[in-house]
Structure 1
């Protein structure tokens, strides 16, 4: 279990993390969300002692991280997948971690097999693609067979098969009773993986709730109804105290009434329906609605981009990926050891 109480981090005059208090419980995958600059990475770094808090504290199974003997046996973390010694092989990188934490050497072979890197175990990570580096980072997190696992953007650079594997892995680890804490900007993936959510903005706690509760609390839920008899349908609904809202395509949107009740009303009045569908926002929509006021970095069209949008100026040339892109840089095939190599195969 991970417990934060009043956790605060200041960099000069900037408060990156502001009195955060929450717990990450075992047995479920807990998602950690927030806009860029919200303080997620800083929070996770403080959890494993890479940054010192300006105030408050973190407890890992009741202890500070620096009180843990052989910490990889308690908590495994993937924060920076490329933070490895480029001159060591993948096997030797993990072996050094194992030896410094009292972990038997056989465990190195086991985790390399688990993450699909057995065939490149004796290659140097400096030649790995982004996806292969992610897998090696996950292997390091699993090395001590810890009860707590923490992942920051674990599916960066992975192909669809790899993404599915990571999702299944995290859910399996949680089902074994472990504490699993994961940060990601891929909302569609988070929606399929996490059961509980911690959301922060500008370093402050904004939500600590279940996935279903978060979406319900931060989105508009309604039922969409379509019928070839709209006037009659409106009369029936109004007679029941229900106010439908017409849409531009001729359907109706109805709030605070279940699809089951609307279906029963239609059957009772022999009203033909062409559509009766409950509508609920996605995790992404709910997240955007909650955090709209706490986004620190906004992109705006302007300058040459605005001119090109208006048809002026030369066509856009190739652009370099942003630091957070999961794609390889221009000219990099991302394949590492062998042209046809695929992650995990």
Structure 2
């Protein structure tokens, strides 16, 4: 279990992390979300005592990370897939980690096999692709068979098979009763992986809730109805005290009602339905809605590339497709 209480980090006048308090519990996959610059990486670095907090505390199973006698046996972390000596082989990279933490040599072969790198165990890591580096970083996190695992963008660079594998791995680890904490910008993947979400923006806690609860609380859910007798359907719904909103393609949208109840109501009045479908937002839509006021940089798509050299902007990078502007500027 990971416990944060009032965790704060200042960089000069900038408050990167602002009094974060939440608990990452065992037995589930906890997703860690936030826009770029929200403070996610800084928070994870403070969890591992790589950065000192300006205030507050982080405890891992009741202790600070620096107090752990054999840290890799308690916490396995992947924060940077490139954090390895390029001149060492994959095997020797893991062997160094194992020997520094009193982990048996045999465990190195086990984790290399787990992540699918046995065939390249003797190759130097400087020749590894991004995906291979990710797999090696995950192997390092698993090396000590830890109770707690932390992953920052674990699917970065992985192919579809690799993404499917790491998703199932994280779920399996949580099922075993371990604490799994994962940060990612891939909303579609997080929706398939995480059971619980912690969302931050501008260093502040925005949400600490279940996946289903997060989507429900930050999105609009409704039932979409279409019928060849649309006007009669509208009258029947309104006669039952149900508010109706016009939707796309002539459909009707009803909030706060169960689809089965609406279907039964239409059937009692012998109204044919061509569509009766519950609609709810995706994780991405819910996330965008919640964090809209916390995004530090906004992209504007109303700028086109210059059509001729004469129209080229005088400043490097200006006027090309996407205009990055800091919020409020």
Q: Give 1:64's aligned residue.
A: 64
Superposition misfits of 4+ residues, deviation over 3 angstroms: none
Q: Give 1:209's aligned residue.
A: 209
CA drift of 1:301 comes to 4.2
Distance 2:287 2:254 in 1: 23
Q: Is the partner of 2:299 in helix, strand or coil?
A: coil
CA drift of 1:279 comes to 0.3
Distance 1:215 1:22 in 2: 19
Distance 1:55 1:61 in 2: 20
Q: Give 1:149's aligned residue.
A: 149
1:42-81 residue CA offsets vs partner (Å, 9 max, x unmatched): 0000001110111011000000000001100000000000
1:93-121 residue CA offsets vs partner (Å, 9 max, x unmatched): 00000000010000000000000000000
Q: Answer yes or no: is 1:166 the counterpart of 2:166.
A: yes
Q: Answer yes or no: is 1:50 the counterpart of 2:45.
A: no
TM-score computed with the length of structure 2 as normaliser: 0.93
Distance 1:99 1:231 in 2: 75
- Matched residues, number: 312
CA drift of 1:247 comes to 2.2
CA drift of 1:215 comes to 0.2
Q: Answer yes or no: is 1:244 the counterpart of 2:244.
A: yes
Unaligned runs of 5+ in 1: 320-345
Matches within 5 A, 1:320-331: none
Distance 1:298 1:122 in 2: 45
Unaligned runs of 5+ in 2: 318-329
The 3 A distance-change label for structure 1 pair 250 and 211 is same
Distance 2:261 2:245 in 1: 17
Q: Answer yes or no: is 1:100 the counterpart of 2:95.
A: no
Distance 2:305 2:70 in 1: 58
Q: Answer yes or no: is 1:34 the counterpart of 2:34.
A: yes
TM-score computed with the length of structure 1 as normaliser: 0.88
Distance 1:105 1:37 in 2: 39
Distance 2:111 2:305 in 1: 52
Matches within 5 A, 1:115-194: 115-194=115-194
Distance 2:108 2:55 in 1: 37
Q: Give 1:313's aligned residue.
A: 308
Distance 1:102 1:247 in 2: 63
Q: Is the partner of 1:42 in helix, strand or coil?
A: helix
Distance 2:126 2:308 in 1: 40
Q: Give 1:271's aligned residue.
A: 271
CA drift of 1:298 comes to 1.6
Distance 2:129 2:248 in 1: 48
CA drift of 1:270 comes to 1.2
CA drift of 1:307 comes to 4.2
